[in-house]
Amino acid sequence: MNLNDTQQRLRWGIIVGLVILALFFLILDNAGRADTVLAFLRSPLSDVLGWTAARTDAFADVFAGPRDLQAARARVAELESQLAELERENAELQEFRNQNQLYVELFNRAAEAPELERLQANVIGRDTSPVFHSIIIDKGSDDGVFVGMPVEAARGLVGQVYRTSPHSAQVLLVSDNISSISARLSSSRALGVVHGGGLGGSLTLDWVDLEAVIQVGDIVLTSGLNGEFPQDMVIGRVIEVQRSEAELFQRAVLQPAVDFETLEVVFVITGFEPIDTNIFDTPPETLPARP
């Protein structure tokens, strides 16, 4: 067979096939079925391409996964570090705010009674002895602090200087069981004596006349009697009234104005000199002659 004849027949065969295929698609297009046939022809190819892409992505994830996990852990560690820093800054700001509020209260207290000279002192210790309920401050005799001087905080009376050293002093708190302070009610002005209850005990206002009116919420102040404390220093607030017609006096339980467990800064009232009135508690052996 001649090679030229074979090539010629093959060429005409291809041409005829293409013409038939073109006519076939023309007929399908006129019938509105061309898209269906094309979709059918594309489907196997799409499936093959989809399967290949899925295997390629899975293969890539094997290598990308560890890198992504490592980056995520690094990001988490970075965020935890930033959170810790923000919490530290917040704590510092809160402490600064608390100190600022404390000094504002101290300033306001000093402004209420400017006639009294005060020395600011820091609380540096607390007495753990079961005998005394007291605190230690960082001012002593070299700073002009002496036994008997009253000590107050921004909210009220703290106690009285009990012992001193050159650079520190022990303050007996009003809550101690040997503390006894002449006091009066701010509303009725009735007199009484505030006694400390010691560790775990309650502060009480005793020896109040039965005729006096005591109400829960009344403020109890120093009376200035006996010369141990200036007048009108806040001691506490009445939280309970104990009254019995069978008794000669009534009693009130107080909430101290000062939270002794959180004291940080106090004022020693150096401009007030306690007056010893004990000399008048005993009758004189001889009375002076009347002129």
CA distance 212 to 198: 27
Tell me whether residue 287 is in a domain. no
Examine the domain organization and report whether 165 and 71 are in the same domain: no
Examine the domain organization and report whether 212 and 170 are in the same domain: yes
> What is the identity of the amino acid at 46?
S
pLDDT of residue 157: 95
pLDDT of residue 171: 96
Tell me whether residue 161 is in a domain. yes
What burial class does residue 142 get, using C-beta atoms within 10 Å of its C-beta: 0-12 exposed, 13-18 middle, 19+ buried? exposed
Q: In degrees to the nearest 10, what's the CA dihedral of 98, 100, 101, 105?
A: 140
Query: Strands (DSSP E) along the chain, which ranges?
Result: 118-126, 134-137, 150-152, 157-165, 168-173, 180-185, 191-195, 203-209, 219-222, 234-242, 249-256, 265-269
Tell me whether residue 247 is in a domain. yes
CA distance 229 to 182: 9
**Percentage of residues of the chain with pLDDT beyond 90:** 40
Residue 73 pLDDT class (50, 70, 90 cuts): confident
Residues 82-94: pLDDT tens digits?
888 888 778 777 7
What residues contact residue 145 under an 8 Å CB cut-off, 6+ apart? 119, 121, 137, 139, 161, 164, 169, 268, 270
Examine the domain organization and report whether 32 and 69 are in the same domain: yes
Tell me whether residue 49 is in a domain. yes
Say whether pLDDT at 56 is over 70: no
pLDDT of residue 29: 61
Tell me whether residue 226 is in a domain. yes
Examine the domain organization and report whether 142 and 270 are in the same domain: yes
- Stretch 148-170: mean pLDDT: 94
CA distance 259 to 106: 15
Examine the domain organization and report whether 88 and 151 are in the same domain: no
Examine the domain organization and report whether 82 and 150 are in the same domain: no
Q: Which tokens sit at 222?
A: 């120093």
pLDDT of residue 62: 52
Residue 110, phi then psi, degrees to nearest 5: -65, -35
Examine the domain organization and report whether 58 and 166 are in the same domain: no
Residue 170, phi then psi, degrees to nearest 5: -100, 130
Bigger pLDDT: 7 vs 268: 268
Tell me whether residue 65 is in a domain. yes
Examine the domain organization and report whether 145 and 245 are in the same domain: yes
- Stretch 75-101: mean pLDDT: 76
pTM equals 0.61
Say whether pLDDT at 123 is over 90: yes
pLDDT of residue 60: 54
Tell me whether residue 85 is in a domain. yes
**Where is the domain boundary, 80, 112, 144?**
112
Residue 199 pLDDT class (50, 70, 90 cuts): confident
Examine the domain organization and report whether 189 and 129 are in the same domain: yes
CA distance 265 to 137: 9
The neighbour count for residue 263, using CB atoms within 10 Å, is 20
Bigger pLDDT: 16 vs 209: 209
Q: Find the farthest-apart pair of alpha carbons in the chain and give their distance in angstroms, rounded.
A: 175
Count of structural domains, the chain: 2
What burial class does residue 34 get, using C-beta atoms within 10 Å of its C-beta: 0-12 exposed, 13-18 middle, 19+ buried? middle
pLDDT of residue 7: 65
Domain of 168? 117-274
Residues 220-244: pLDDT tens digits?
999 998 888 999 899 999 999 999 8
**Where is the domain boundary, 72, 91, 112?**
112
pLDDT of residue 96: 61
Tell me whether residue 284 is in a domain. no
The CATH number assigned to the domain holding 170 equals 2.40.10.350
Examine the domain organization and report whether 90 and 124 are in the same domain: no
pLDDT of residue 269: 93
Examine the domain organization and report whether 121 and 248 are in the same domain: yes
Residue 63 pLDDT class (50, 70, 90 cuts): low
- Stretch 51-77: mean pLDDT: 66
Examine the domain organization and report whether 129 and 25 are in the same domain: no
Bigger pLDDT: 37 vs 200: 200
pLDDT of residue 54: 60
